[in-house]
Amino acid sequence: MDDTLAAPMPLAAVLLVLGAAVVHSSWNLLLKREGGRPELLLGALVVGAVAGMPFLFSYPLAEIPLEGWALVLASAIFETGYMLALSSAYRVGDLSLVYPVARGTAPIIVVPLAALLLGERVSTQGLLGVLLVVAGIFASHVPALGTLATTREARQAVGFAALTGLMTAGYSLVNKVGVSVVPVPVYAVAVFATNAVFLTIILRLRGMVLVGRDTRWRATATIGVLMMTSYVAIMWAMSMAPVSYVVAAREVSIVVGAALGAVTLRERHPASRVAGAAVIFAGLAVIALAR
């Protein structure tokens, strides 16, 4: 791609990102409440893929070009890694610790790689917005980071969360290209379905029971619909705006996730997170107004 200055983030993309942030943090809350079980994520992927299948009447999978399938495959690999790392993180850590680290790692990785691989160059104002988002994430979790030296579970949770962020960066970069080759809803269905196949294979190799008496069908269906909704919203935003801006702006979901964790799960909500939330919102505003 041309090494040109990234275009401003349209209002429609900002609204899509904000809506996706609320939906994404909501299904993460449900996943945490269900113990972060990977088999639940598998069921949610299947539900999401089925929910999106009506789009295939207007654009059949057979019409996806070879390049499109290569991008779907690459995205599904990254997203399978994301699912496994995220479920592992939630089994040992609080939502208010795991979610910010998982979401906050991606912008740090995406901005330089988008410039190197996709030719995106963010404006000075846009870069300031990204830095504010990252600074807000760090500021809101300075107290939590102090527990890493003494708590094994916290170290494990942060390690899995950071791996989740790395996988997020990978699939975000792939998806930015993917939505330019395949229509957004069809691309989403193809990725979800392929991801479900990969995750099924891995869980079966682990000897896990995928469906049993304790399967929570309502939670699975709810998470699946929310997952597909937030995914499609972000893909549409990526088709309108630079991936560097979208990945950073979507981290406003950290604020929503931390608030949900504090209110519904009774997790600690120190004053530093309030200050960090304000900085994250300021970063989002700067990104939205960047030229």
pLDDT of residue 279: 84
Confidence of residue 120 (pLDDT cuts 50, 70, 90): confident
Tokens of 192: 């979800």
pLDDT of residue 238: 93
CB 228 within 8 A of CB 188: yes
pLDDT of residue 75: 97
Beta strands 120-121 and 4-5, pairing class: parallel
As to burial, measured by CB atoms within 10 angstroms (0-12 exposed, 13-18 middle, 19+ buried), residue 232 is buried
pLDDT in tens, 152-207: 777 788 889 899 999 999 999 999 999 999 999 999 999 999 999 999 999 888 87
CB 100 within 8 A of CB 258: yes
pLDDT of residue 289: 73
Residue 239 is part of which domain span? 4-289
Question: Given a cut of 70, is residue 150 above it in pLDDT?
Answer: no
pLDDT of residue 3: 47
Question: Given a cut of 70, is residue 95 above it in pLDDT?
Answer: no
Lowest average pLDDT, out of 41-45, 126-130, 167-171, 271-275, goes to 271-275
Q: Name the residue type at position 250.
A: R
Count of beta carbons in the 10 Å neighbourhood of residue 268:
12
What would you measure as the largest C-alpha separation in the chain, in angstroms? 55
Tokens of 283: 């970063």
What's the whole-number mean pLDDT along residues 88-99?
77
pLDDT of residue 180: 93
pLDDT of residue 265: 58
pTM of structure: 0.84
Number of domains in the chain: 1
pLDDT in tens, 1-53: 444 455 567 889 989 998 998 898 888 788 878 776 778 888 999 999 999 99
Question: Given a cut of 90, is residue 264 above it in pLDDT?
Answer: no
pLDDT of residue 247: 87
CB 136 within 8 A of CB 283: yes
pLDDT in tens, 226-261: 999 999 999 999 999 889 889 888 877 777 766 666
Residue bearing the bigger pLDDT, 197 or 101: 197
